[in-house]
Structure 1
Amino acid sequence: MRKPILLASFALFTTLSAFPMKEIAGEFQPWDANCQILGNNVAFMTEWNGVTFKFFDKDGCVFEGGTDFSEYDMLVLKLKDASCMFKIKTEYTDGTTQQDSWGAEQAITPGLLVAGIALNHEHKKNVKDFVLQSADYPGMITVDKVIACTKAEYEQMLKEEKAKRFELTLKKVNEGGGADYDPATKTISIKDDWAHKGWYFNDQFRDFSLFNLFVIQFAQPTATDGEIGIEYDGEGAQTTTSRFETGVSQVNVPLSKDKNKLRQVYVKGPSGATFVLKGARFATNGEVTAIKRIDKEKTSANAPTRYYSLDGRELKQPTKGLHIEKKNGSAQKVFGR
């Protein structure tokens, strides 16, 4: 038994209710500097990194001799936000030595706000700790509570806590050839005509059935047309594509019936196109606002001409060389002299 490490950790204090459900006291301990604890936020700075949740004893000290959860079926994280793909793994002890063969791991469905793992029925009297490990992409989760509960209570929480969105990281956009991505400027640069760049998901994290749409937002109105592609696994699964025009700032793409086996999403465009990303997420219908296009903002016959650079920045006046001019709902490239 040892005193808890307070640096880069937080405590979740025990409360008992009239129900078997129990809130667990303990702390998250990062594996290394690539994972940080910021209040109730667990920030995974790199892929396949993690934290260990250590249980407290009645004196508020970390106890690794085995905590008794024999009255419960599940360990559950109640989350306020989940924008990271991660898995939970339970670890057990015989009182002195960790018994790896007793443990189990569970990949959490992306966006789920109630992340649970079943306890080993034969050994749940000696739970040493549990770990959270990020998947291929960095991200963050916000933990509300750590709970031990029955299976029925877990299933009830699943019904009550509905996912709304799952943000994709802009720190790493690595899927696809013939195009580059700069994480500093969040810019996709298309080299080969209609090449693509996007996100490819590990086969443990392809169930996006909680959501209805993929939403991508551009920090600057698009200077060219392009396309969003969504690919799925399985025989007969069809790729979902959605073309967008010049001047678009947001594209909403409905997910197909195969959304429980979604492999990758990406942006395509003509050679030389650049797309500056503002955000990308999976969302429910109720969470999403309508598509906004700058070429629809003014439709009056007397609307002024608006000028844009090829990377989508609005200009005060036309410039020499190639730029974009928009008026009355139409846009065209113009070479200024």
Structure 2
Amino acid sequence: MKQLAFFTFFSWLGAQSIQLNEIVSTNGAVLYDEDGDTPDWFELYNTSGQEINLNGYGITDDPNDLSMWVFPSIVLEPNGFLVIFASDKNRKDLVAEWDAVINWGDSWSYWPGTSAPVSNWDDPGTDISNWSTGPSGFGYGDNDDNTNLGQIISVFARKTFQIDDPTMITKALFHIDYDDGYIAYLNGEEFSRRNMGAPNTQVYYNETTTGLHEAEIYSGGFPEEISIDLNEFPIVPGDNTLAVEVHNYNTSSSDLSCIPFLTLGYNSEIDNATVPHQLMVLPSSYLHTNFKLSSNGEDLILSNQDEIVIDSIFTGTLETDMSFGRYFE
């Protein structure tokens, strides 16, 4: 990563495969984070020809606290580089690859809201084998419906998806284009609703929404984005279920739209990932430590899972947008 100035420094390396490669302690306008800020940053380099999982590695500017900031499970590719912001924001949910596990046009099981669906229809264990199947979106009136349902007050839809290793997932984004209100469930637990009253309150199949909301995609807009808290609503190994109900503002409404998406962010590349739809404006993500760097110079220390120091650098005084580095990319 080329900066306004690039100085070569040396510290003991031994036979270590992961090294501190470049440091900027006063980032003026060279590199921006996902918030539009310009924090200090440093870069790691995997000098080996093998993948290395950084889970449990520590980075610190305090030699008495080697585990000040501990890396999450993230794989650094052979001869790969990784930028980390020393911002004091303390973020570990880095996304290396996005996977569109549920996309526009995927097949769902659905129930038109001309009568009540089976009780607990959103629960993965509830039998819905008598439901119809069809591609999303569902609704009528806006020409954005792959499954046209005619004029109805509501629609209920459920889809199962499989996950091999949920520990690799750092972000889950639910997008939905809807008219006029919805409730969304992950594995039988409500995680989001709009225009449908208070969270976790019962809603009947023929209940109308508390407000109007126009669908966006058909007029050139974008679906609404909701970040799912994976601690509160975990994704599990094997089968998982996303369920959505969409309701209309009144029985004479000219349209209804239900187009759900689910996109998962992984901490390393996976096999057979599906590229997200072009409508998905997915956020950038970076790792952020819980400390900042001093422009007057200080030690930056990298240790392994056993808190054994594997690399250490004293940066010295750095002017704005100048970097110390070992390997020039």
Provide TM-score, normalisation by structure 2. 0.30
Provide TM-score, normalisation by structure 1. 0.29
